Structure 1
């Protein structure tokens, strides 16, 4: 695992059902090693569906396996969308690897019944 100098990890969340940024959505970041997860931080998206600073950058950035957990159910309920109980989507975990000292942007597009992600820029 190499420590990065210019690498960083960012994210944002869009609510595709309402066509708006997902403001106020809680996200937890974990470092994954085998079967263990180490919680690194927890953030909440701003009015633009983004977090105010990179999740990892500089000395905190390292290659490896990570998991972002998006608390979609809490956000969807708070936004007034009708959900069954239990909700189809509640916590959405995205596990991904960062193999290079580069920018990794991992966005989430959500609705009550679907989600998608990609490596953005």
Structure 2
């Protein structure tokens, strides 16, 4: 099986998928700099329509996902009146891929005040 990288975003303030959240994926180089690999927007289920990376494009190394949580919460009617600047704005998750043949799923559970992640399945 070819490896793949996927994500899923849940808005834990509302208990629903975070539909319409922008995110970017970057590869981290040996000097700590990053190379942009792509931009996506989550669908109605809080997921991207296809894997972020798969097959030969998924290589071992360090990556980071940057989620535009502040922009997402600004657009939500229930949280539109939150103070600026937002407490949670851009959520940057840096993680490693050790096995390019495995499935790496990186969920984000987010509210305007907190976030959490884990390696999913």
TM-score in terms of structure 1 length? 0.94
Number of equivalent positions? 117
Superimposed CA distance per residue, residues 71-105 of structure 1 (whole angstroms, 9 cap, x where no aligned partner): 00000111121321110011000000010120000
Stretches of structure 2 that go unaligned for 5 or more consecutive residues are none
Which piece of structure 1 moves more, 37-46 or 78-87?
A: 78-87
The one of 52, 55, 58 equivalent to 1:58 is 55
Question: Does 2:114 align with 1:114?
Answer: yes
Superimposed CA distance per residue, residues 23-68 of structure 1 (whole angstroms, 9 cap, x where no aligned partner): 0000000000122100000000000000000000012111110000
Stretches of structure 1 that go unaligned for 5 or more consecutive residues are none
Q: Distance in 2 between matches of 1:48 and 1:90?
A: 21
Aligned to 2:69: 72
TM-score in terms of structure 2 length? 0.94
Which piece of structure 1 moves more, 65-74 or 27-36?
A: 27-36
Moved over 2 A (4+): none
